[in-house]
Amino acid sequence: MNIKVNSREAQASPEQIAYANLLFYVAWGAILLMTITYFLYVTQLITPYIPIQDIPKYWSLPANEFAKHTGNPAGWGWFPLLGKGDFLNFAGISLLGTLTIIGFLTLVPAYIKKKDWSYLTITILEIVILILAASGILGSGGH
């Protein structure tokens, strides 16, 4: 392993710095958002879709059984219920899940500019995989 004294070589690339900045603000923003929505949920300032006192009755059941008893929606079924106290929490949760996709989107122009076709292909494939996973196309609902 070479050891040289040239600190510029050890610096992160501009696309890496951009990705890092995005991660920092959105990740901590999502965690703050979750803290606020959870407070609104448990204090029942916003009425939940599933009565909060019913959840402990069913949380030891598999997810499909839980859904049968509570009407817990599968896939993106939570999205129209964002106005309910419990599903409002999914705003922060889904933001955490979307953050990596957004981060990868910021890498695309950087790799095009560098004409780094192999990493551009990897980045695009990763975006497709993550979107497929998030979309629910691959499968949602009870198992």
Residue in 39, 42, 31, 50 with CA at minimum distance from that of residue 99? 31
For residue 57, state whether it binds another protein (rule: CB under 8 A). yes
Choose, by CB under 8 A, the member of 14, 80, 83, 136 that binds another protein. 136
x/- string (CB under 8 A) for another protein, residues 73-92? xxxx---------xx-xx-x
96-100 contacts: CB < 8 A, separation 24 or more?
A: 96/27, 96/30, 96/31, 97/134, 98/134, 99/22, 99/23, 99/26, 99/27, 99/30, 100/130
Question: By CB under 8 A, is residue 99 in contact with another protein?
Answer: yes
Give yes or no for residue 40 binding another protein (CB under 8 A).
Answer: no
Of these, 14, 47, 64, 83, which contacts another protein (CB under 8 A)? Answer: 64
Q: Of 14, 80, 109, 142, which one interacts with another protein (CB under 8 A)?
A: 142
With b for 16 or more beta-carbon neighbours within 10 A and e for fewer, the 19-33 pattern comes to beeeeeebeeebeeb
Token readout for 89 is 């929490």
> Quick one: which of 14, 45, 46, 55 contacts another protein (CB under 8 A)?
55
Whole-number Å distance between alpha carbons of 134 and 104: 14
Among 46, 67, 106, 108, binds another protein (CB under 8 A): 67
How many binding residues for another protein (CB under 8 A)? 80
Q: Which of 14, 46, 47, 61 touches another protein by CB under 8 A?
A: 61
Minimum distance between the CB of residue 83 and another protein, rounded to whole angstroms?
14
